[in-house]
Structure 1
Amino acid sequence: MQKEFSFQVPPETAANAEALKQFLSRQYDLPFKDINHVEILKRSIDARQRNIKVNLKVQVFLKEDFKEEKITPPEYQNVSNAEEIIIVGAGPAGLFAALRCIELGKKPIVLERGKDVRARRRDLKKLNIEHVVNEDSNYCFGEGGAGTYSDGKLYTRSKKRGDVQRILELFVAFGATKQIMVEAHPHIGTNKLPAIIQEMTRTIIEHGGEVLFNSRVTDFTVKDEEIRGVTLLDGRKIGAKKVVLATGHSARDIFELLYSKNIHIEAKAFALGVRVEHPQELIDEIQYCTPNRGEFLPPSSYSIVKQVQGRGVYSFCMCPGGIIAPCATSPGEIVTNGWSPSKRDQATANSGIVVEIRPSDFAIFGDSPLAALRFQQEVEQKAWRAGGKTQTAPAQRLVDFSNGKVSATLPVTSYKPGIASVELAEVLPGFVYKSLQNGFREFGKSMKGYFTNEAVVHATESRTSSPVRIPRNPATLEHVQIKGLYPCGEGAGYAGGIVSAAIDGEKCAEKAVLAMG
């Protein structure tokens, strides 16, 4: 017999199988000897009170053996000789689109401007140590896209957009731990993601698809407002009647290309700000009311939003036990982002703290569909100049930032290229700067201890989402102007993270295959 129960227990009980059985036996009057296995279905932490609890949903096997079902990939067919679909970009949207094409009997040709994971690592090392930005191989471009080195957060609010459970199961099938299907805020870890991404790529190739690295798309072949294929940087032309465009939020050259060809795109609101780093012990103390969380609680995270003079200021992509990374995609700009290893065991916690950017804010760049992108670029370039024209990030201690004071010293940071003490009013737009100054004070009222000079503010956090939307027909998911072109994922403005991008990739693949008949 199997029974499901939902309840709260102390962290030490949740972490101990025998203690959990004893609790269930007492709480629900179950004979202890009859409990053969307790399978945890869902887990979350309730830290609202001083006595922290863990919320559990479990399945209890009474007088019945538990047989763990292994999650395996779908039965992919060989599509070597099938009709082809071009997929531009090998991030989450592109890879999941490719796998779905194979499921549905079509051959994906994945074109990725960057390198495979192994070669990409060498370019990341150069970026961190030598400050050399490779425009095709960096934290945003390469096998797995930005998702490979963005912590592997799988939490999404996009449950109405598609089957989140299916995406999580596919990640498990390709090597992720089953815990991502249990945790309320699942996370794979940047150290674990590359092997999973490589297994996806191997599967695509093994079943007849193609994945071409170092293959930057520089032009689209369009005839009578229908897509006919693409041209690569080296001059190669690849033909196809269906193209899934999954290039990510930082593929500025694609936005420029579409604009130059009079293919309809739109400026889109986004958010911009800074990345703030605190000692992890301090965040634990704020959230758990103790700096020593013990062995049963994970490093604490936070999520916070405030309205400051009518404008939203909020945390974004919070990384407990994490590291700040240089995420520029071109020389002459500073972009920061964060990631965590699977154990989240680094000494610091970081989060983007950003301000909503409205169309009226980037109207200074005219009514061009690239106006928001130009606004974004200008701030990133100012940060680069302020930091000394390297990948050294301009920075201030948090209280100094809010008081408009240049920091005399800066703490050690996880940002490997290094930081320089700069008055960030020189970098950020005035309304962003003032919103953040006041926002940090408001954060400190809600999170006692957050507003401290132990924390350091890094500029800039600017790639929160695409500054451009590539509009598509809601029914067919095709571009509103170009038949056979399927704008997809974060870069097209239709997703906001790994899971939502993967869902969108699958949906676009399904629509493209359906249209092929």
Structure 2
Amino acid sequence: MIRINQLKLPVDHTEEALWAKAAKTLKVPVKQIERLQIIKQSVDARKKDEIHFTYSIDVKLPNEESVIHRAKNVNVVLAEKKEYGFPASGSLKLSSRPVIIGTGPAGLFCGVMLARNGYRPILLERGESVEMRRQSVDEFWKNGILKPDSNVQFGEGGAGTFSDGKLNTLVKDPFMRNRKVLELFVEFGADPSILYINKPHIGTDVLSNIVKRMRQEINRLGGDVRFNSRVTDFIIKDGRLSHVVVEEKEEIPAEILVLAIGHSSRDTFEILEKRGVPMEAKPFAVGLRIQHPQESINYSQYGTAHHDVLGAADYKLTHKSSGGRGVYTFCMCPGGYVVNASSEADMLAVNGMSYHDRAGTNANSALIVTVSPNDFDGTGPLSGVSYQRKLEQAAYISGAGKIPVQLYGDFKNNQLSKSFGDVEPAFKGQYGFSSIRDFLPSYLSEAFIEGVEAFDRKIRGFARKDAILAGVESRTSSPVRIPRDELFESGIKGIYPCGEGAGYAGGITSAAMDGIKVAEAIAAKFERFPI
């Protein structure tokens, strides 16, 4: 195969035009090209009157080395074919089936890989199946009645199920795990375009169906996915895990336990600390959600309010405040909604969500500010959890149980909003006007305002007075890290900390990749579990 990089075409080009451009670049007739595969597609919108796609493609045709030589083009090279490989099984016998706590991306992908390689994992999920969970979440958004174990944070699919479903990651990937994650998503129902577009996303409506099919695959291969199965204790003997306790009554043998609990399993963190599992507080970021009209973001990024081919525009912005804190946008949701993402009684947290078509009126993103253990009260491993809870309790009180909302201009001037401007609210869950600055530490509010004003110089209208703020965005990443060694094991033998909750991932794809890593480590050490 020949790799052609930096192949540029107008955004409205046809498939025939792509083949013709490839042939012209290689100086061969189109009919000589036997196969063409898009490896990467990205949008170049730096010149608004010349927006185009830039491609990397692989083509197959006869006499490839001579074609490369004749093309005399630095962007035409012999393609290096890399494929993902799962390790051969190890030699140690397992006395019990591997147990995985959590069915977010880390737990599900770990489960699929172990199931496909003969390990028959048991997956324990505290929440409901994705079908039942969707009903519970919709009911919560409608009437405010929270199910503590099945909500936007907990349940099959994890927190990412109710998000934009973004799959881009900055994790370096020499072992092709990123590619494997995307291939598995496609296998279970995602659009094949996620394999090559620069910023792939799935959308919560599609992602929930994919999650269900992954569970069915694990069960089909001899695994066991169990819902409403909250782990309430860990039995540890002589520095090694022996059992997990489910719902305070059932003891399950757990020689191998993958701890993929997600970033919001605060009660589980408390149990782990009580049982002596090493943990430490880590930095994360908190802030607010900000909403703008999607048309204004499109115009800033594309030079037009609408673009049929490119769809809703996104953005990613960063700034360093005068106080030295990082301020940045996170989990940007084009055409999306701000949602009530609470998981504990009398506390309130928000998140962003988009459907696959990203057809909503507004764009929203988290605009967050970095915090570190120096900002937390106390020095224990769960001091970051306490920091989050304090903010969420204050947000709940401020909004009287509803999402606290304030216009940016009023937030900046520290006055209560009385009505919306031209930006129409797009929420999932009940909301009401509140003085958000009253429950944010001053260093967060000041850095937030500084960031918005800086971002207005990059996206015109970002600091518009009627932009809608909602808080508090406190679940950007885990406030805890559970240390593990080079073989992915905790200081308590048999426990494999994994994914975002353990502090080793920061999104759907990186969590899924970490789940695959841990599955590899287990498989390389142990024999398959017999039927």
The TM-score, its normalising length taken from structure 2, stands at 0.89
Matched, 1:120 2:133: yes
**Cα distance between partner residues in 2 of 1:106 and 1:274:** 43
Which structure 2 residues correspond to residues 9-408 of structure 1 after superposition, within 5 A?
Answer: 9-13=9-13, 16-24=14-22, 29-32=27-30, 38-50=36-48, 51-60=50-59, 83-160=96-173, 162=175, 163-293=177-307, 295-309=308-322, 310-362=324-376, 365-388=377-400, 390=401, 392-408=402-418
**8 Å CA contact retained: 1:359, 1:372:** yes
Give the aligned residue type for 1:40. Answer: I
Counterpart-to-counterpart distance in 2, 1:504 and 1:432:
31
Contact 1:3/1:61 (8 A) holds in 2: no
Query: In structure 2, what is the equivalent of residue 421 of structure 1?
Result: 433
Name the SS for the 2:348 alignment partner: coil
State the alpha-carbon separation in 1 of the partners of residues 41 and 226 from structure 2.
40
> Could you give the per-residue CA deviations for residues 143-194 of structure 1, whole angstroms, max 9, x where no partner exists?
1111222222110111248521111111112221211111111111111111
Whether the aligned pair in 2 keeps the contact of 1:151 and 1:187 (CA below 8 Å) is: yes
Change (3 A) 1:427 1:209: same
In 2: Cα distance, 1:343 partner to 1:416 partner: 17
**CA offset at residue 343 of structure 1?**
1.5
Report the Cα offset of residue 454 of structure 1: 3.5
Greater displacement, 159-168 / 193-202? 159-168
Amino acid at match of 1:357: V
Match of 1:67 in 2: none
Q: After alignment, is 397-406 or 244-253 more displaced? A: 397-406
Verify the 8 A CA contact 1:45 1:54 in the aligned structure 2.
Answer: yes
For residues 241-282 of structure 1, give each alpha carbon's deviation from its aligned partner in whole angstroms, at most 9, with x where no partner exists. 111110000000111111222322111111000011111001
Aligned-pair distance for 1:38? 4.5
Give the deviation of 1:128 after TM superposition.
Answer: 0.6
Contact 2:116/2:221 (CA < 8 Å) preserved in 1? no
Q: Give the one of 462, 478, 493 matched to 1:483.
A: 493
Q: Distance in 2 between matches of 1:466 and 1:211?
A: 24
Once residues 310 and 119 of structure 2 are traced to their aligned partners in structure 1, the CA distance between those partners, rounded to angstroms, is 46
Question: For 1:118 and 1:452, how far apart are their aligned partners in 2?
Answer: 39
Task: Give the match's secondary structure for 2:392.
Answer: helix
**Equivalent residue letter for 1:193:** L
Of the structure 1 ranges 407-416 and 392-401, higher mean CA displacement relative to structure 2 is found in 407-416
Match of 1:453 in 2: 465
Alignment partner of 1:84: what SS? coil
Counterpart contact for 1:403–1:437, Cα < 8 Å: no
Counterpart residue number, 2:66: none
Q: Per-residue displacement from partner, 1:363-406 (whole Å, max 9, x unpaired)?
A: xx211111111011100111110001x2x211111222223232
Distance 2:262 2:61 in 1: 48
Work out whether residues 112 and 216 of structure 1, in 8 Å CA contact, stay in contact via their aligned partners in 2.
yes
**C-alpha distance in 2, partners of 1:39/1:97?**
29
Identity of aligned residues (%): 40
Instruction: Give the superposition deviation at 1:413.
Output: 1.6
Q: Secondary structure at the match of 2:108?
A: helix
1:39 to partner: Cα distance? 3.5
C-alpha distance in 1 between matches for 2:168 and 2:188: 18
Q: Deviations over 1:400-422 (max 9, x none)?
A: 22232322212532213232222
**CA 1:234–1:434 in structure 2 vs 1: closer, same or farther (change >3 Å)?**
same
- How big is each residue's C-alpha offset from its partner over 1:273-302, in whole Å with a ceiling of 9 and x where there is no partner? 001111100101111122132x22221100
Alpha-carbon distance in 2 for matches of 1:240, 1:419: 44
Indicate the residue corresponding to 2:517 in structure 1.
507
Alignment-derived partner of residue 419 in structure 2? 409
Gaps of 5+ in 1: 65-70
Shift of 1:37: 6.1
Q: AA paired with 1:206?
A: R
Q: Paired residue for 2:75?
A: none
- Partners of 1:228 and 1:301 lie apart in 2 by 47
Shift of 1:58: 2.5
Query: What is the number of residues matched between the two proteins?
Result: 499
> How has the CA–CA distance of structure 1 residues 34 and 100 changed in structure 2, closer, same or farther, with 3 Å as cutoff?
closer
The alpha-carbon distance between structure 1 residues 36 and 349, as it changes in their structure 2 partners (threshold 3 A), is same
Partner of 1:68: none
Whole-Å separation in 1 of the counterparts to 2:525 and 2:235 = 19
Tell whether the 8 Å contact from 1:230 to 1:238 is kept in structure 2 after alignment: yes
Asked if the contact 2:9–2:53 (Cα under 8 Å) also holds between the matched residues in 1, the reply is yes
Whole-Å Cα distance in 2 between the matches of residues 18 and 263 of structure 1?
59
Q: Tell me the CA shift for residue 5 of structure 1.
A: 5.0
SS where residue 353 of structure 1 aligns?
Answer: strand
Deviation at 1:433, TM superposition (A): 0.8
Moved over 6 A (4+): none
Contact 2:124–2:230, Cα closer than 8 Å, also in 1: yes
SS at match of 1:192: helix
Distance in 1 (alpha carbons) for counterparts of 2:213 and 2:346: 35
CA contact (8 A) 2:144 2:430 kept: no
Query: Aligned partners of 2:231 and 2:438: how far apart in 1?
Result: 36
Q: What residue ranges of structure 2 are gaps of 5+ in the alignment?
A: 64-82
**Which residue is 1:438 aligned to?**
450
